[in-house]
Amino acid sequence: MIEDRKLDVLRAIVEDYVSTNEPVGSKSLVERHQLGVSPATIRNDMAALEDEGYITQPHTSAGRVPTDKGYRLFVDKLSTVKPLSAPERRAIEGFLGGAVGLDDVVNRTVRLLAQLTRQVAVVQYPSLSRSAVRHVELVGLSETRVMVVLITDSGRVEQRIVELPGVLREDDLSDLRTRFNGRIAGHALADAPMLLSDLPEAVEPDVRANVSAILATVLETLVEHVDERVVMAGTANLARGTALDFPGSIHPVLEALEEHVVLLRLFGESGDRDVHVSIGGENPHEGLHTASIVSTGYGTEGTPFASLGIVGPTRMDYPGTMGAVRAVARYVGQILAEGN
């Protein structure tokens, strides 16, 4: 009974604080919500909530503000993800539908997400290791130089140039191309090393050195720090309500955002399913203690390509943001699955 009302009060505090950006007091709370009790009663509840660590007051005789713990409870128990409105959905569809090629899809996505949520949007490129090989192409640039082009089913293209230890003839190259594709086309990239390991032994001894060199590069392309690419948009959104949203300054936040590797780890941890939220101090990275991250995986059903999401102040509209992130992830997954 009283517990229920306390939760209602917390929800009301979060909602009011998010929308007004001012500490909320007992009086304004009863005015703006139908709680059916007097301010004095609310005050008792608030005192209890404060004891339990869900809210706090910036200074004595000011209203209450949710703590990280308060936001956490709100997100977990007190709110439901808000679906986008029909016009919003149509806008997404229209905007992303017009994309040609993976780069375009990713770029449009990150912009869209930034605009929709009015936060900093981050989109990770489809991970190589979690995709399957569509095609491998070997292009002879000169007698001792080969370009390796790798195309995945998510439409991502990766290329490297290999300096060969010796000369490789065009028909050897073509033979090799066939062998590569025969072995790994359609398979997950993660399996490639195993599928290719005995390739040098399968070819003529005189081209073996060249094959090894190419193979080494292919494997390196597949395995090494290749998930590192992220795109960002909407950093200007950080500077909108600065003093109010980020206590110290936005400097540490901007710094954290520049460390793409860190970002990837944070976003990578968005669980397999649905939207993941990390609030303020929950965040492992020091610079992001004043920020929250809302992220999710995207890709074809069951096998996410990669993650996307947003970074914003802890004081944000979680239900709306989560809805936007989820919706965008779904559309992108859909579009990439359709082939680009």
Partner DNA sequence: ACTTGGCACTCGGACGTAGCGAGTGCCAGA
Partner DNA sequence: TCTGGCACTCGCTACGTCCGAGTGCCAAGT
Q: Does 294 bind DNA (CB under 7 A)?
A: no
Partner from a second copy, DNA, none contacting 191, C-beta within 5 to 8 A by type: none
Backbone angles phi, psi at 68, to 5 degrees: -55, -40
Bridge partners (DSSP) of residue 120 are 311
In whole angstroms, give the CA distance from residue 245 to residue 83: 25
Partner from DNA, a second copy, none contacting 261, C-beta within 5 to 8 A by type: none
- List 37, 139, 239, 244, residue binding DNA (CB under 7 A): 37
Helices and strands in the chain, H and E counts: 14, 10
CA 147, 159, 161, 205 torsion: positive or negative? negative
Strand duo 276-279 + 133-142: pairing:
unpaired
- Confirm if 80 and 321 have CB atoms less than 8 A apart: no
- List 7, 8, 28, 340, residue binding DNA (CB under 7 A): 28
Q: What residues line the site for a second copy (CB under 8 A)?
A: 100-101, 134-135, 137, 139, 141, 147, 149, 151, 155, 157, 159-161, 233-236, 238-240, 242, 249-251, 254-255, 257-258, 340
Q: Which is nearer to a second copy, 40 or 100 (CB)?
A: 100
Q: Does 80 bind DNA (CB under 7 A)?
A: no
Q: How far is the CB of 57 from DNA (least distance, A)?
A: 6
- List 8, 50, 93, 282, residue binding DNA (CB under 7 A): 50
Q: Does 10 bind DNA (CB under 7 A)?
A: no
The answer for 21, left when phi > 0, alpha when psi is -120 to 50, beta otherwise, is: left
Assigned token pair, 42 = 């609310």
Q: Does 34 bind DNA (CB under 7 A)?
A: no
Q: Which is nearer to DNA, 62 or 194 (CB)?
A: 62
Overall residue count recorded for the chain in this entry:
340
Q: Which is nearer to DNA, 34 or 61 (CB)?
A: 61
Angle (nearest 5°) at CA 23 between 19 and 29: 75
Q: How far is the CB of 103 from a second copy (least distance, A)?
A: 9
- Confirm if 165 and 210 have CB atoms less than 8 A apart: yes
Binding region for DNA (CB under 7 A): 1-2, 5, 22-28, 36-41, 43-44, 46-47, 50, 57, 59-64
